[in-house]
Structure 1
């Protein structure tokens, strides 16, 4: 994606000999705006996703944030991941939220007193020095750690960054590949829609419908204080989310196929799990360890993944309901994200690229950025959380996948659109996939971080 002859990002373009191109203006505006957002959301040890709606540290947010921060503040990027890993549980899981004790309980729900990690999670090895949630999010962390190291290898080596994080990242992978293999076929299962990162996707509606909702009035949502109700999950969905989380907590956060009320093999989650094995191979090589175990695991997981989740008729990977042992026949962006994987069969790559640009996702024709859910799906909503809007982290992963598999023109076009849309939307949490209209929070950290990465790589 390198375009030759670009000026350093953030430079005063008016002082240059040649007038700046539209691309240069967009890249500079994106980089400078992203730097402002990331500096404003930095707490001293980590970065909040947004100051109002998400006032704690989130797991996969921090991984994406570190990927962008490596261009602006490499040591801060290392600290972002190190801070998150201090909250890792003894069983290897990285919790999806690490709570800031200075934030009032009412600022976010579910709050630390709901999760009760240090007591309810005692048998699973939850830390006692910090309160966390008990569920997880997609494993982007090894990829982030490798990219952060590569941004400033000398400083990384001076601080001992990779030797410090490597065993923790391996333990995280082994938790997912062993304790979370609820289907017995080598893939990890999510036990709550929030673990997918794509919290409110219609892909979870069918398995979620089996869950008895928590009684209304037994909890107080905080998200509606900061966001438009039409953008957020419904009360019924939230009641089911709460019931699932409470049930998992009450069983001591133990994992097992016989106790899970919700268990789904999510293609995006598992694709990132496989990508992490490849990243761990790179980390192992960098610190002088043997990478072969990670490479073998990556190949084995890829084989199981394609066999279990690929659907030729749909033209993408489908989620699998582990409890019913049936595929979930909804087309979500989660089924396209395996494009990030090396070693996919050519026919699978070709089909994924065709689906991405076809009637269901419309990238490059109907949509500016890929929607989170099928444009033609019965549950499509361009405004409601994960039920249709376009997200910058999803599109960053798709851009990476397109580029990896040689679809350079499509990747360049998507990157340019993301840069422009980030600036025009005020670095929105997510946007309408057709119009680019801002939705959700503004000054959102992973939006800023990932367009910073694109801006730097597009020079």
Structure 2
């Protein structure tokens, strides 16, 4: 069943990286053992929260992170770890002025930022390959003291109607007074990693820099479950060949590795244990030398905080560079390997590995990306893929253990076990996997609908990993026994839109449409998820659904996740549309799978009938007065049903009313080969023609069948709204709320006056923390889905069906051309405009003409509905990396 989307190439010329992918298709294979799986932030996450009130941000804040051992994971700058998270490596920095060693990214917590949580650093994933045979990452480190207090205080002073106060606004980066620290990894073999760290002084004056590469074991021994303690032991300089220092790493599972460091840095050893005396004022510490020992030695001069011999569980190589001249680069070379260090460790072969792997990365993307891409578009795609690949992080979380607490630790407070406690109904969830994250700082945890979009983009470079990710969330240790997919760690029971099946279909297509075993596996699990939706989110069996906020945070007049007053029910246009969309995704999976597994023929029939029932209900449930489709406005709305059976349309034109467009599919001719499906369709035509309101077929279209929620004049009427520049069409794509509400819209709901207004940029609403806004900005994933749906309609209706774009312009285009226009506006966010600036950079420092800033696009969470400026999380390469998927199409859109 076609969606009308141009399909990527089904095969690529063999490259060295493709060969490695073939050798290691699964996460358990050798080339995937080491990767950028170390989190960008572990502090302030739900996993580390053992508080009574569930305030994760306050329970383990940034200020304690350098001295407090984590329970479930680790974090660091530009780091790597093994896929189990036992052994971790990252770089630490000190400029001689900061009050604490720079070991991790800093940002404001949800309560500190005037628009919610917000990272206050500058860094960029520069490159990467899917097996992580080559990785490059850049961090911009100020030479002045990092202004922690000023960032907190100024953002606390600002209201929601003001811009966020960023690091560049403090003046510490003026005159380019910073070091660019580039960290590169190149694998000589799956268990042999060459590491290169280069720091360049871009400022006008000499500046000091301390580079401290660190290696440490995740603390697995303090919780009363496994008292085996791994060891890091510095080798005596006399036992090391050549000009280097080395630390031996011994672990019962990983075995023996050696981290070698070129030159003569001072080796500092401590333990990855909490400093209880510093944190909590206790009399003693669990270990003599605690996690913050290296910080205490370098920043505070405490020689007793570290050892230079013996064993520990955390170690650092202390390189000191005094008065680095302007423009000069200082370098550090390391190697993590199972082989013993010798005179060749940093020889010609070490340097050749970097050249070879970088050339192979270029070769790989040369084969993956369309040949006709301009340099600008190719660079955007490479950066998008780099962000996605660096966003693969280890996620460990056993909810049962987390709720029960650990034997060697104080028991968690009783409040955690109450029915209202976080994730108490998800005790089955137990994950210890590398998972694609939305953002390595603001969202260092998976979200089910984000991940689905990630997988569509990842399918072009690593289809095996993309499939593995989709299947993982549907496995029995992740999916709830009742069939619900876990939403995200703050509330696994929240509801995300059902896009998993759509993503699975596109991953299948991008990989050459050969792996029907994958379709059968994911399709079977999606049957459970579909049943959960029907049983839990269709309260009265009306085929209309009440999904809650559905990931769209503050889009409604009120919080749609909050319980309604007794007897009220909100029939949602978006929830119902998502379910019609889900039906059609399952229908095409079943049609495809039925040619291998005939039983799927009957399942295809089931999803046909369920779609028709939903389509009928959306137009005419109860009476025409309460249908989701409003004939007068030519738009879909949510409907609030009152206890007495009365109802009221919530006449807010938003993305909620555009989503019915997504529910469309053109059946392939091969459906005629499915006996159950074809016979049932014929029966419906004869016996139940009233159910075929959502089905179109006639001789003009060669006997093909299109299923759609938008028939007759409904499609052009809805599109007239969508392509109206005074409503939804913006320079950046399709807005999430009509700009007509620049004049606020007010209505009465259950006796209360409620107002919504168009907010093109940052959220002025406190719903969901206020760090996401669906009241006007452009969001990448739903725009991609809308364009996808337009192509599907156009594939059936043909070039004779045209719409006016923009509305009122007199310019009539095909639906495929209209879809291309949306894609082009999305892609253009990252391309230099007539003034040489990227729209997504807006007024941020990245918009500076200075090439040191202009070279680095960011992939934001969403985009200003008027200007296209990137907003929200500034490193959410996750679903915004769908730009790479768009660039895979004809001419890179």
Task: Give TM-score scaled by structure 2 length.
Answer: 0.38
Structure-2 separation of matches of 1:163 and 1:416: 35
Q: Are 1:418 and 2:807 an aligned pair?
A: no
State the Cα deviation string for residues 57-84 of structure 1 (Å, max 9, x = none): 1011111111211112101111221222
State the Cα deviation string for residues 213-265 of structure 1 (Å, max 9, x = none): xxxxxxxxxxxxxxxxxxxxxxxxxxxx6xx4xx7xxxxxxxxx99788x533
Match 1:37 to one of 387, 400, 409: 387
Q: Are 1:438 and 2:792 an aligned pair?
A: no
More helix by share: 1
Q: Are 1:77 and 2:466 an aligned pair?
A: yes
Match 2:450 to one of 50, 61, 86: 61
Match 2:860 to one of 428, 440, 443: 428
Tell me the CA shift for residue 361 of structure 1: 2.4
Q: 1:4 to 1:398 in 2, by over 3 A?
A: closer
State the Cα deviation string for residues 333-367 of structure 1 (Å, max 9, x = none): 1211221222220311101110011255242xx54
> Match of 1:95?
486
CA contact 1:267–1:317 (8 Å) conserved in 2: yes
SS, match of residue 649 in structure 2: strand
Structure-1 separation of matches of 2:533 and 2:787: 26
Tell me the CA shift for residue 458 of structure 1: 2.9
Match 2:633 to one of 314, 317, 330: 314
Q: 1:328 to 1:39 in 2, by over 3 A?
A: same
Tell me the CA shift for residue 422 of structure 1: 4.2
Structure-1 separation of matches of 2:874 and 2:532: 34
Structure-2 separation of matches of 1:306 and 1:25: 48
Structure-1 separation of matches of 2:531 and 2:721: 32
SS, match of residue 79 in structure 1: helix
Tell me the CA shift for residue 136 of structure 1: 1.4
CA contact 1:369–1:434 (8 Å) conserved in 2: no
Q: 1:413 to 1:450 in 2, by over 3 A?
A: same
Match 1:398 to one of 778, 786, 809: 786
Q: 1:306 to 1:367 in 2, by over 3 A?
A: farther
Structure-1 separation of matches of 2:461 and 2:572: 33
Structure-1 separation of matches of 2:467 and 2:584: 20
Q: CA RMSD in A?
A: 3.0
Q: Are 1:138 and 2:451 an aligned pair?
A: no
CA contact 2:439–2:878 (8 Å) conserved in 1: no
Alignment map for 1:336-351 (pairs within 5 Å): 336-342=658-664, 343=708, 344-351=710-717
State the Cα deviation string for residues 172-200 of structure 1 (Å, max 9, x = none): 1111123211254212212x32xx21111
Tell me the CA shift for residue 2 of structure 1: 5.3
Q: 1:358 to 1:306 in 2, by over 3 A?
A: same
SS, match of residue 888 in structure 2: helix
Structure-2 separation of matches of 1:368 and 1:50: 22
> Match of 1:28?
378
Q: 1:41 to 1:58 in 2, by over 3 A?
A: same
CA contact 2:630–2:637 (8 Å) conserved in 1: yes
CA contact 1:139–1:269 (8 Å) conserved in 2: no
Please identify runs of 4+ aligned residues in structure 1 that moved more than 4 A: 1-5, 8-12, 257-261
Structure-2 separation of matches of 1:154 and 1:356: 33
Match 2:586 to one of 263, 273, 280: 280
Q: Are 1:199 and 2:556 an aligned pair?
A: no
Q: Are 1:148 and 2:507 an aligned pair?
A: yes
> Match of 1:302?
615
Q: 1:3 to 1:394 in 2, by over 3 A?
A: closer
SS, match of residue 264 in structure 1: strand
Tell me the CA shift for residue 96 of structure 1: 1.1
Q: Are 1:334 and 2:334 an aligned pair?
A: no
SS, match of residue 404 in structure 1: helix
Between stretches 386-395 and 406-415, larger displacement belongs to 406-415
Q: 1:306 to 1:2 in 2, by over 3 A?
A: same
> Match of 1:269?
575
Structure-1 separation of matches of 2:566 and 2:472: 32
Q: 1:310 to 1:62 in 2, by over 3 A?
A: same
Structure-1 separation of matches of 2:660 and 2:375: 32
State the Cα deviation string for residues 68-107 of structure 1 (Å, max 9, x = none): 111121011112212222311111111211x4xxxxxxxx
Structure-2 separation of matches of 1:152 and 1:3: 10
CA contact 1:62–1:84 (8 Å) conserved in 2: no
SS, match of residue 330 in structure 1: coil
Structure-2 separation of matches of 1:143 and 1:322: 30
State the Cα deviation string for residues 101-127 of structure 1 (Å, max 9, x = none): xxxxxxxxxx4xxx5xxxxxxxxxxxx
CA contact 1:50–1:443 (8 Å) conserved in 2: yes
Between stretches 429-438 and 318-327, larger displacement belongs to 318-327
CA contact 1:199–1:386 (8 Å) conserved in 2: yes
Structure-2 separation of matches of 1:169 and 1:3: 24
SS, match of residue 46 in structure 1: strand
Match 1:168 to one of 515, 521, 525: 525
CA contact 1:359–1:376 (8 Å) conserved in 2: no
Flag structure 2 segments of 5+ consecutive residues without an equivalent.
14-360, 395-433, 621-626, 665-707, 745-756, 764-772, 795-814, 832-837, 841-857
Task: Give TM-score scaled by structure 1 length.
Answer: 0.72
Structure-2 separation of matches of 1:43 and 1:155: 29
SS, match of residue 428 in structure 1: coil
Tell me the CA shift for residue 38 of structure 1: 0.4
Q: Are 1:189 and 2:580 an aligned pair?
A: no
Query: How many positions carry a matched residue from both structures?
Result: 364
| CA radius of gyration, larger in | 2
SS, match of residue 345 in structure 1: coil
Determine which structure has greater relative contact order: mean sequence separation of CA pairs < 8 Å that are 6+ residues apart, divided by chain length: 1
Q: 1:176 to 1:2 in 2, by over 3 A?
A: closer
Between stretches 322-331 and 275-284, larger displacement belongs to 322-331
Q: Are 1:374 and 2:731 an aligned pair?
A: no
Q: Are 1:357 and 2:723 an aligned pair?
A: yes
Between stretches 384-393 and 422-431, larger displacement belongs to 422-431
